[in-house]
Amino acid sequence: MTTLIATLALLAPSGAADPTSDDIASVGFKDASFVARVKVGNQNELNKINKDFGQSYRFKWTKVQVKEPFKLRLESTVDDTDITFVLNGATRLLRVPKARISNRENLAKSPGKRQTLLDFGIITPSLFADLFNAKFVRVDRRTNDLVFDLTYKPSLDDTSRHRVWVDPEKRYVTRREWYAQNERQLATFYYEEPKQQNGVWFPTRLTVRNAEDKVAGVTNYEELKLNSGIADSVFAVN
Protein backbone atom coordinates (compact mmCIF):
# COMPACT_ATOMS: atom_id res chain seq x y z
CA MET A 1 0.00 0.00 0.00
CA THR A 2 2.81 2.40 0.89
CA THR A 3 4.46 1.78 -2.47
CA LEU A 4 1.17 2.47 -4.29
CA ILE A 5 0.67 5.77 -2.48
CA ALA A 6 4.21 6.84 -3.27
CA THR A 7 3.72 5.97 -6.94
CA LEU A 8 0.49 7.96 -7.14
CA ALA A 9 2.24 10.94 -5.57
CA LEU A 10 4.91 10.83 -8.26
CA LEU A 11 2.30 10.65 -11.01
CA ALA A 12 0.26 13.60 -9.63
CA PRO A 13 0.80 16.89 -11.47
CA SER A 14 2.98 19.46 -9.72
CA GLY A 15 1.19 22.32 -7.99
CA ALA A 16 0.39 25.35 -10.11
CA ALA A 17 1.94 28.70 -9.23
CA ASP A 18 -0.06 30.89 -6.87
CA PRO A 19 -2.15 33.66 -8.45
CA THR A 20 -0.58 37.12 -8.56
CA SER A 21 -1.88 40.68 -8.68
CA ASP A 22 -2.22 40.26 -12.45
CA ASP A 23 -4.98 37.73 -11.80
CA ILE A 24 -7.17 40.17 -9.85
CA ALA A 25 -6.68 43.42 -11.78
CA SER A 26 -9.56 44.63 -13.93
CA VAL A 27 -8.74 44.11 -17.58
CA GLY A 28 -9.33 47.07 -19.87
CA PHE A 29 -10.61 49.55 -17.26
CA LYS A 30 -9.94 53.17 -18.28
CA ASP A 31 -12.56 55.35 -16.62
CA ALA A 32 -15.99 55.41 -15.00
CA SER A 33 -18.66 57.92 -14.10
CA PHE A 34 -21.74 57.37 -11.94
CA VAL A 35 -23.89 58.84 -9.19
CA ALA A 36 -23.33 57.31 -5.76
CA ARG A 37 -26.67 57.53 -3.97
CA VAL A 38 -26.91 56.68 -0.26
CA LYS A 39 -29.82 54.39 0.58
CA VAL A 40 -28.88 53.67 4.21
CA GLY A 41 -26.62 55.74 6.45
CA ASN A 42 -26.87 54.76 10.11
CA GLN A 43 -24.62 57.22 11.91
CA ASN A 44 -24.61 55.21 15.14
CA GLU A 45 -23.23 52.18 13.33
CA LEU A 46 -20.99 54.22 11.01
CA ASN A 47 -19.31 55.98 13.95
CA LYS A 48 -18.22 52.58 15.25
CA ILE A 49 -16.11 52.30 12.12
CA ASN A 50 -14.60 55.75 11.98
CA LYS A 51 -16.12 59.19 12.60
CA ASP A 52 -14.58 60.66 9.45
CA PHE A 53 -15.86 57.72 7.43
CA GLY A 54 -19.35 58.29 8.82
CA GLN A 55 -19.29 61.91 7.69
CA SER A 56 -19.14 60.80 4.06
CA TYR A 57 -22.69 59.48 4.39
CA ARG A 58 -23.98 63.01 4.96
CA PHE A 59 -23.75 63.35 1.19
CA LYS A 60 -26.97 61.73 0.01
CA TRP A 61 -25.69 61.76 -3.56
CA THR A 62 -22.30 62.28 -5.13
CA LYS A 63 -21.33 62.58 -8.79
CA VAL A 64 -18.25 60.41 -9.22
CA GLN A 65 -15.74 60.49 -12.08
CA VAL A 66 -12.66 58.30 -11.91
CA LYS A 67 -9.89 57.58 -14.39
CA GLU A 68 -6.71 55.58 -14.52
CA PRO A 69 -4.25 56.15 -13.05
CA PHE A 70 -5.21 57.77 -9.72
CA LYS A 71 -7.63 60.41 -10.93
CA LEU A 72 -10.85 61.05 -9.01
CA ARG A 73 -13.43 63.83 -8.93
CA LEU A 74 -16.36 63.98 -6.51
CA GLU A 75 -19.08 66.63 -6.62
CA SER A 76 -21.99 66.97 -4.22
CA THR A 77 -24.18 69.35 -2.26
CA VAL A 78 -24.84 69.22 1.48
CA ASP A 79 -26.81 71.80 3.47
CA ASP A 80 -27.13 73.97 0.31
CA THR A 81 -23.35 74.03 -0.06
CA ASP A 82 -21.57 72.78 -3.20
CA ILE A 83 -18.44 70.77 -2.57
CA THR A 84 -15.84 69.55 -5.08
CA PHE A 85 -13.12 67.05 -4.23
CA VAL A 86 -10.39 66.20 -6.75
CA LEU A 87 -7.55 63.72 -6.38
CA ASN A 88 -4.88 63.61 -9.07
CA GLY A 89 -1.97 61.35 -8.24
CA ALA A 90 -1.06 62.25 -4.67
CA THR A 91 -2.46 65.78 -4.83
CA ARG A 92 -5.85 66.40 -3.27
CA LEU A 93 -7.91 69.54 -3.85
CA LEU A 94 -10.98 70.52 -1.84
CA ARG A 95 -13.18 73.40 -2.98
CA VAL A 96 -16.17 74.87 -1.15
CA PRO A 97 -16.93 78.16 -2.99
CA LYS A 98 -19.65 79.28 -0.57
CA ALA A 99 -17.17 79.15 2.30
CA ARG A 100 -14.30 80.47 0.13
CA ILE A 101 -12.33 77.29 0.75
CA SER A 102 -9.76 76.01 -1.73
CA ASN A 103 -7.29 73.67 -0.06
CA ARG A 104 -4.56 71.69 -1.81
CA GLU A 105 -2.72 68.89 -0.01
CA ASN A 106 0.04 66.42 -0.91
CA LEU A 107 -0.87 62.92 0.27
CA ALA A 108 2.28 61.16 -0.92
CA LYS A 109 3.09 60.13 2.66
CA SER A 110 -0.54 59.67 3.74
CA PRO A 111 -1.73 56.67 1.71
CA GLY A 112 -4.75 56.04 3.93
CA LYS A 113 -6.23 59.36 2.80
CA ARG A 114 -5.94 58.52 -0.91
CA GLN A 115 -9.28 57.31 -2.19
CA THR A 116 -8.78 54.88 -5.07
CA LEU A 117 -10.77 52.53 -7.27
CA LEU A 118 -10.40 49.93 -4.52
CA ASP A 119 -12.98 51.90 -2.54
CA PHE A 120 -15.46 51.28 -5.35
CA GLY A 121 -14.66 47.59 -5.73
CA ILE A 122 -12.18 47.66 -8.61
CA ILE A 123 -8.49 46.76 -8.63
CA THR A 124 -6.23 48.07 -11.39
CA PRO A 125 -2.52 47.48 -12.15
CA SER A 126 -1.59 51.03 -11.10
CA LEU A 127 -2.45 50.22 -7.48
CA PHE A 128 0.62 47.98 -7.34
CA ALA A 129 3.06 50.41 -8.95
CA ASP A 130 3.81 52.51 -5.87
CA LEU A 131 0.96 52.01 -3.40
CA PHE A 132 0.16 48.37 -2.54
CA ASN A 133 1.82 44.99 -2.34
CA ALA A 134 -0.44 41.99 -2.96
CA LYS A 135 -0.06 38.62 -1.20
CA PHE A 136 -2.14 35.62 -2.22
CA VAL A 137 -3.95 34.02 0.72
CA ARG A 138 -6.20 31.29 -0.66
CA VAL A 139 -9.03 30.41 -3.00
CA ASP A 140 -12.39 30.74 -1.27
CA ARG A 141 -13.91 27.26 -1.35
CA ARG A 142 -17.48 28.51 -1.39
CA THR A 143 -17.27 31.16 -4.10
CA ASN A 144 -14.00 30.35 -5.89
CA ASP A 145 -12.97 33.99 -5.34
CA LEU A 146 -9.26 34.75 -5.08
CA VAL A 147 -8.37 36.09 -1.63
CA PHE A 148 -5.46 38.52 -1.29
CA ASP A 149 -4.00 40.74 1.41
CA LEU A 150 -3.17 44.25 0.21
CA THR A 151 -0.57 46.08 2.30
CA TYR A 152 1.02 49.46 1.69
CA LYS A 153 4.57 49.64 0.35
CA PRO A 154 7.06 49.71 3.28
CA SER A 155 8.27 53.18 2.28
CA LEU A 156 4.78 54.57 3.01
CA ASP A 157 5.03 53.65 6.71
CA ASP A 158 1.39 52.60 7.08
CA THR A 159 0.60 49.14 8.44
CA SER A 160 -3.15 49.22 7.84
CA ARG A 161 -4.30 46.66 5.29
CA HIS A 162 -7.17 45.28 3.25
CA ARG A 163 -8.16 41.67 2.62
CA VAL A 164 -10.05 41.34 -0.64
CA TRP A 165 -12.11 38.65 -2.35
CA VAL A 166 -12.04 39.01 -6.14
CA ASP A 167 -14.19 37.28 -8.75
CA PRO A 168 -11.49 35.79 -11.02
CA GLU A 169 -13.68 35.91 -14.13
CA LYS A 170 -15.38 39.29 -13.79
CA ARG A 171 -12.38 40.91 -12.08
CA TYR A 172 -14.17 42.95 -9.44
CA VAL A 173 -13.95 42.89 -5.64
CA THR A 174 -16.88 41.07 -4.07
CA ARG A 175 -15.81 41.63 -0.47
CA ARG A 176 -13.21 43.76 1.34
CA GLU A 177 -12.15 43.71 4.97
CA TRP A 178 -10.50 46.88 6.30
CA TYR A 179 -7.97 46.59 9.14
CA ALA A 180 -6.44 49.47 11.12
CA GLN A 181 -2.74 49.75 11.89
CA ASN A 182 -3.32 47.97 15.20
CA GLU A 183 -4.83 45.02 13.28
CA ARG A 184 -8.33 45.83 14.55
CA GLN A 185 -10.94 45.12 11.91
CA LEU A 186 -12.86 48.29 11.16
CA ALA A 187 -15.41 47.23 8.55
CA THR A 188 -16.38 44.81 5.83
CA PHE A 189 -17.52 46.04 2.41
CA TYR A 190 -19.71 43.96 0.09
CA TYR A 191 -19.75 44.91 -3.59
CA GLU A 192 -22.78 43.54 -5.38
CA GLU A 193 -24.94 43.64 -8.52
CA PRO A 194 -22.10 43.98 -11.06
CA LYS A 195 -22.81 45.28 -14.53
CA GLN A 196 -20.74 44.96 -17.68
CA GLN A 197 -20.03 47.73 -20.18
CA ASN A 198 -17.35 47.89 -22.86
CA GLY A 199 -15.80 44.67 -21.63
CA VAL A 200 -15.47 45.76 -17.99
CA TRP A 201 -17.45 44.60 -14.95
CA PHE A 202 -18.27 47.11 -12.20
CA PRO A 203 -20.35 46.63 -9.02
CA THR A 204 -23.39 48.89 -8.60
CA ARG A 205 -24.24 48.36 -4.94
CA LEU A 206 -22.09 48.71 -1.82
CA THR A 207 -23.08 47.50 1.64
CA VAL A 208 -20.88 48.35 4.62
CA ARG A 209 -20.97 46.40 7.88
CA ASN A 210 -19.05 47.40 11.00
CA ALA A 211 -17.00 45.08 13.23
CA GLU A 212 -20.21 44.05 15.04
CA ASP A 213 -21.59 42.90 11.66
CA LYS A 214 -24.28 45.59 11.74
CA VAL A 215 -25.27 47.25 8.46
CA ALA A 216 -23.92 50.79 8.65
CA GLY A 217 -24.42 51.99 5.10
CA VAL A 218 -25.81 51.03 1.70
CA THR A 219 -24.99 52.93 -1.49
CA ASN A 220 -26.16 52.39 -5.07
CA TYR A 221 -24.05 53.39 -8.07
CA GLU A 222 -26.49 54.78 -10.63
CA GLU A 223 -26.18 56.09 -14.20
CA LEU A 224 -23.00 54.06 -14.67
CA LYS A 225 -20.83 54.73 -17.73
CA LEU A 226 -17.62 52.77 -18.29
CA ASN A 227 -14.75 53.70 -20.62
CA SER A 228 -16.62 56.67 -22.04
CA GLY A 229 -13.48 58.77 -22.44
CA ILE A 230 -13.29 61.32 -19.60
CA ALA A 231 -10.93 64.23 -20.33
CA ASP A 232 -7.87 64.69 -18.10
CA SER A 233 -8.88 68.33 -17.60
CA VAL A 234 -11.76 67.16 -15.38
CA PHE A 235 -9.17 66.22 -12.77
CA ALA A 236 -7.12 69.45 -12.80
CA VAL A 237 -5.88 70.50 -9.35
CA ASN A 238 -4.42 73.88 -10.34
Within a domain: residue 155? yes
CA pair distance 167, 53, nearest whole angstrom: 26
Within a domain: residue 194? yes
Within a domain: residue 7? no
Q: What sign for the dihedral angle of Cα 212, 159, 65, 84?
A: positive
pTM of the model: 0.90
pLDDT computed for residue 12 by the predictor = 45
Q: Render each residue's pLDDT in the chain as its tens digit; 238 residues.
A: 445 444 444 444 556 799 999 999 998 999 999 999 999 999 999 999 988 888 889 999 999 999 999 999 999 998 889 999 999 999 999 999 999 999 999 999 899 889 999 999 999 999 999 899 999 999 999 999 999 999 999 999 999 999 999 999 999 999 999 999 989 999 999 999 999 999 999 999 999 999 999 999 999 999 999 999 999 999 999 8
Domain of 117, in residue numbers: 18-228
3-state secondary structure 23-73: HCCCCCCCEEEEEEEEEEECHHHHCCCCHHHHHHHHCCEEEEEEECCCEEE
Number of domains present in the structure of the chain = 1
Counting Cα atoms < 13 Å in the Cβ hemisphere of 33 gives: 12
pLDDT computed for residue 52 by the predictor = 86
CA pair distance 170, 134, nearest whole angstrom: 19
pLDDT computed for residue 11 by the predictor = 43
Within a domain: residue 1? no
Within a domain: residue 126? yes
Rounded to 5 degrees, what angle do the CA atoms 21, 153, 131 make? 65
Within a domain: residue 180? yes
**CA 41 vs CA 64, 124, 209, 215: distances in Å:** 18, 28, 11, 9
Within a domain: residue 10? no
pLDDT computed for residue 15 by the predictor = 61
CATH number of the domain that residue 129 is part of: 2.50.20.10
Within a domain: residue 116? yes
